[in-house]
Structure 1
Amino acid sequence: MPRSERRECPRRSTCGTDCGMSGSSSRQSLNPALRSTSSRRSSWRTDMDLNGKTAVITGAAGGIGLGIARACLKKGMQIVIADLDAGRVAETAAQLRDTGGDVTHIGCDVRSIEQVQQLRAEAVAAYGGVDLVCNNAGVGLSRPIAETTAADWELLIDVNIRGVVNGIQTFLPLMIEQRSGHINATSSMSGLVGDPGLVVYNATKFAVTGMMEALAQELAVEHPNLSASVLCPGPVATDLMSTSEKQLADAGSGATSNEAIAAYLAAGLSPDDVGQICIDGIRNGRFWLLTHPELTWEIMDPRYAAMKNGQLYSHSEAWTDQR
């Protein structure tokens, strides 16, 4: 990808940091902090034109990943979609191309750093660089902790945590070189509060939330022309439970899908709505991308109050009844 000549920052000799002005790229930064002062005064809204930029989305053959892909295409972006199910992601890509989208696809197991590196190579070969990475691939599990197996823990840690780590470690160096880019990851409301029967899932999603918050803080200091965000969905009408059940079976877990959770998800938001919330939030400089803000704060406010008193927060109704 062509790069413009380096420009020395006039303040570097006094501030002692590389703020990103010492070099530039044809790619406009997705970090709202680097927009004009007038933009910063207006609630960090960037109103950035995403047209022509490149997004990479994992777990994008269906569900939230597909919703994000469609939202990116609506903004005029070109996209690279990846999924463990190579056949399904190829079909999804064909459908998106039929609507006029500029789409590249690849089968990718995010547990494998080599496969994620190949994903990066495909994206760079197709479009010259990457502006946005959405680490969305994930696995769900509902099982009391006393019944969980080593296979349960290994699979969810490898996909939900290691998959995000692999995405960050693979694409962050490219974005540092570009001096622009945004990294997003899909966590969950279960990455904000613990739920009975979801201990393994909670543990991995809490890890994603903390990882992305720390990454965003680090980028703000070390690479302020880069940024990060975390998507924390509530109930979304996806096939997460059925796709997860297959992966759990392949891993030797023995866990089966939970009908109550399947019904809970089926009554949720559409993946397209969630994808729009995600991309609009990134475009407008948000870190916390919440699909159900009222429900989130209905839970989080009393949780914080309980924390102040050193108490365990418990919601008055089962989490599968919360909307």
Structure 2
Amino acid sequence: MTVDLTGGTAVITGSAGGIGLSLARACLTRDMRVVLSDLDEERLSATVATLTAEGAPVVGRAADVRKPADVSALRDLAMSEFGQIDLVCNNAGIGFTRSFTETSPKDWDLVLDINVKGVANGIHAFLPAFLEQGHGHISTTASLSGIVADPGLGVYNASKFAVVGMMEALALEFLDTDISASVLCPGPVATNLILTSEKQSGVGANQDIHDYLNRGMHPDEVGEIAIAGISEGRYWLLSHPELTHR
């Protein structure tokens, strides 16, 4: 089912930079209004100021996706500012590079709370609004790591495999309705995910992985692939389809 996003409203978490910001820019090229959100309030404010100066119809609110009340506040902001919500991008997430022998129960809690429960909070916050208005699309940023596994990424793999399954179940529950879902599984993308995640996890950044990602696709390409794919009615949004099989 195709999704007409033109002139609609999007809410995007984790959108102060990286893929989230690129998703926002792709939405703006389709004359959408955008609610941006991020845990980093200072960075978010700077991003909103930049986009506003460019004439973009955006508002921003800091939110911790682990807190249902924070995510619900994004829904309320979108409705009060723009009167409708057409697209939700659960993009906020944390990277984590540590072997099983180095991983603690606290690490598991942190990654799953953000990457899995944060997505669930997004679904539960926005789905009632979609049911009331009769339409809407929920897209979640998983990862190539939600399709194939790698050593040293066990916790991250677990969280992203969970997200892929969650979104597929959501899509199937609303099959043949005007409520739809998709999952974005980017491969190597030039973002600072590993370095910014270090601030939250306290785990030293894996410089090799950071350097590898920095040689990857520009996030703006990923944003366009995702929003174009949603518009075309695709469930799988893949930046590097050639890497999904080994």
Cα separation, 1, equivalents of 2:106 and 2:195: 17
How many percent identity over aligned positions?
Answer: 55
Corresponding letter in the other structure for 2:184: L
- How far residue 194 of structure 1 moved from its aligned partner, in angstroms, is 1.3
**Quick check: 1:68 aligned with 2:23?**
yes
- Kindly indicate whether the alpha-carbon contact (under 8 Å) linking 2:91 and 2:140 is maintained by their aligned counterparts in 1: yes
Q: Name 1:24's counterpart in structure 2.
A: none
Q: By how many angstroms is 1:193 displaced?
A: 1.3
User: Is the aligned partner of 1:272 residue 2:220?
Assistant: yes
Find out whether 1:180 has 2:135 as its counterpart. Answer: yes
What does residue 236 of structure 2 align with?
288
Q: Secondary structure at 2:244's aligned position in 1? A: helix
- For residues 277-310 of structure 1, give each alpha carbon's deviation from its aligned partner in whole angstroms, at most 9, with x where no partner exists: 000000001000000012224x2xxxxxxxxxxx
1:240 paired to 2:188: no
Q: What's 2:54 paired with?
A: 99
Runs of 5+ consecutive residues of structure 2 not aligned to the other structure: none
Q: Contact between 2:148 and 2:244, CA under 8 Å: does it hold in 1? A: no
Where does residue 231 of structure 1 map in the other structure? Answer: 184
- For 2:10 and 2:240, locate their aligned partners in 1 and report how far apart those are by CA, in whole Å: 24
Partner AA of 2:192 in structure 1: D
1:156 equivalent in alignment to 2:104: no
- 1:80 equivalent to 2:35? Answer yes
1:293, 1:241 → 2: CA distance?
22
Q: Cα deviation per residue 1:41-61 (whole Å; 9 max; x = unaligned)?
A: xxxxx4x65322000000000
> Per the alignment, in what secondary structure is the counterpart of residue 182 of structure 1?
strand
Matching residue of 1:9 = none
Give the TM-score normalised by structure 1: 0.75
**What is the aligned counterpart of 2:100 among 116, 140, 145?**
145
| Pairwise CA distance, 1:79 | 0.2
Give the structure 2 partner of residue 128 of structure 1: 83
> Which of residues 172, 175, 189 is equivalent to 1:220?
175
Tell me how far apart the structure 1 counterparts of residues 235 and 13 of structure 2 sit (CA, whole Å). 19
Q: State the distance in 1 between where 2:67 and 2:84 align.
A: 21
- What amino acid maps onto 2:208 in structure 1? A
Does the 8 Å CA contact 2:5/2:86 hold for their aligned counterparts?
A: no
TM-score, reference length from structure 2: 0.98
Q: Separation in 1 of the partners of 2:5 and 2:68? A: 28
Counterpart of 1:261 (choices 209, 218, 230) is 209
> How many equivalent residue pairs?
246
User: How far did residue 114 of structure 1 move?
Assistant: 0.6
Distance, in Å, in 1 between the alignment partners of 2:151 and 2:5 is 40
Structure 1 segments of 4+ aligned residues over 6 angstroms from their partners = none
- SS of the residue 1:116 aligns to: helix
Task: For 2:178, give the aligned amino acid.
Answer: N
Q: Which has the larger Rg?
A: 1
Post-superposition Cα deviations, 1:13-57, rounded to whole Å, max 9, x if no partner, equal xxxxxxxxxxxxxxxxxxx2xxxxxxxxxxxxx4x6532200000
Deviations 1:190-218 (A, max 9, x none): 00111100000000000000000111001
Partner of 1:274, secondary structure, is helix
2:143–2:185 Cα contact (<8 Å) kept = yes
Q: Which letter maps to 1:237?
A: A
Instruction: Letter of the 2:49 partner, please give it.
Output: A
